[in-house]
Structure 1
Amino acid sequence: MSESPVAQKLALMQLSDSFFPSGSFTLSHGLEALVQEGQLRSAQDLQTFLRLLLRNKIGPTDIVALIHAYRGSAIADLAAVRHADAQLFAQTLIEKTRETARKSGRALLMVASTTWQDSQLTTLNLDAAKGEIHCLHPVVFAVVGRVALLSEQDTVLAFLHSFITGLLGAAIRLSVLGHLQAQQVLLQLAPDIEAAYQIAASLSLDQMWSCTPAIDIAQMQHQKLAHRLFAS
């Protein structure tokens, strides 16, 4: 089965658009706690925060799992998809992060299943109902990208674009920066997004790693905030 290049580009836009209802827009990944504690005050601080997430957390964990799940899905090997999901779950040490990744992944699976017809999506829904897969968001996104006939690279870029724009939207709501500054930051992060993909593509699941202690602490403190706009 194949689609025209235009159809594939439209699918790329659809998956990377915040209009696509996966629930990820409710997440701040520790940003809200850092802002409330006064540790993140400016657009420059935000850019550093996003670079750290890309280089030291999302890139070497979520993207590695996404890539291996995509490759498994591409050859109809759902055991490989389940393995990537289990490995990412084990690598994600913060309970709230695991919980939100599972919730947003299952929301994405529900939306995708009503948008595209594909046997793998049906099987993943059954696996989720039986508790045989966590359905973490990056893993589900990988399968959805394959279902939408995106390449591995385009699926990763759609995920990272959605991730970064979601956090920029959160930063706007938290009054860290304005819409114009957000566009500047997004453009400046393009090399980091590309590097995150290139590095992750060379790693095995056993080589996943992360090192963002300050951000991890902020994520753990989020649920104790007196006032919260975001789920994490």
Structure 2
Amino acid sequence: MSVNISQKLTLMQLSDSFFPSGSFTLSHGLETLVQTEQIQNTQDLLIFLQLLLRNKIGPTDGVALLHAYRGSVNNDLDKIRQADTYLLAQTLIEKTRETGRKSGRALLMIATQTWPDLQLTILTQEVAQGHIYGLHPVIFGVVGRVAGLNDADTILAFLHGFVTGLLGAAIRLSVIGHRQAQQILQQLVPDLEATYQIIISLNLDQMWSCTPVIDLAQMGHNKLSRRLFAN
């Protein structure tokens, strides 16, 4: 099997919702916005995803992921730790930090068993000992390198998995159906491309986010009378 085909298969594996990283338990505030009727239809959901991608996931999670990937390529564990620290500083909502850490641990466990690598072993030990937080995007960046993906494919796998995870959440919340989810995914192609450009243009100290309504929805999630998702 050629290297190119192997990389494409790995890309599909990492970006597939079948990969058990725990992301299927997350709604990133969507559940709150649906229950409070701030998101009621396909257009509302599309805007929600566009805002998350361009104003939060790209300039924070994606930037940390890319710099963790680069640190992994250079076997620079301090760079990976730095990416984790910077992302933690940008993740102000306690529940988001908690779910990011749990997802990171789940990803580490699965990846270590699937692609054995010294860096993953060291990171697993440091997370267990509390030396690093081990947020999911940072771990994903390292896993992408370990699995043999280039930086662009690692970013795209992360973004695709993020979007499809939220579309799956929207289906479970009865906002859309499967056909509408595929239509939205296609509509988001320009936004995914723009998000990718944001990610590759920023350094760690240039990370930023601005999604106040979504942030408030995430903070109010634990007050909902019924919940399907962890955030």
When normalised by structure 2's length, the TM-score is: 0.99
Identity within the alignment, %: 70
Task: Give the match for residue 48 of structure 1.
Answer: 47
Task: Give the match for residue 210 of structure 2.
Answer: 211
- 1:59-208 aligned within 5 A: 59-208=58-207
Alignment-mate amino acid for residue 133 of structure 2: H
Shift in Å at residue 35 of structure 1? 0.2
Structure 1's consecutive aligned runs of 4 or more residues displaced over 2 angstroms after TM superposition are none
Partners in 2 of 1:220 and 1:227 — Cα distance? 15
State the Cα RMSD in Å: 0.7
Task: Give the match for residue 4 of structure 1.
Answer: 3
Measured against aligned partners, the alpha-carbon deviations of 1:93-135 in whole angstroms (never above 9, x if no partner) come to: 0000000000000000000011011110011011112211111
Partners in 2 of 1:191 and 1:134 — Cα distance? 32
1:227 aligns with 2:226: yes
SS at match of 1:133: coil
Measured against aligned partners, the alpha-carbon deviations of 1:78-100 in whole angstroms (never above 9, x if no partner) come to: 10000000100011000000000
Alignment-mate amino acid for residue 177 of structure 1: I
Structure 2: runs of 5+ lacking an equivalent = none
Measured against aligned partners, the alpha-carbon deviations of 1:5-45 in whole angstroms (never above 9, x if no partner) come to: 01000000000000000000000000000000000000100
Partners in 2 of 1:129 and 1:24 — Cα distance? 20
Alignment-mate amino acid for residue 90 of structure 2: Q
Structure 1: runs of 5+ lacking an equivalent = none
Measured against aligned partners, the alpha-carbon deviations of 1:29-65 in whole angstroms (never above 9, x if no partner) come to: 0000000000000010000000000010000000010
Partners in 1 of 2:52 and 2:63 — Cα distance? 14
Partners in 1 of 2:89 and 2:190 — Cα distance? 29
Alignment-mate amino acid for residue 191 of structure 2: D
Alignment-mate amino acid for residue 85 of structure 2: A
Alignment-mate amino acid for residue 165 of structure 2: G
Shift in Å at residue 165 of structure 1? 0.2
Alignment-mate amino acid for residue 33 of structure 2: L
How many corresponding residue pairs? Answer: 230
Shift in Å at residue 199 of structure 1? 1.2
When normalised by structure 1's length, the TM-score is: 0.98
Partners in 2 of 1:38 and 1:166 — Cα distance? 21
Partners in 2 of 1:88 and 1:222 — Cα distance? 22
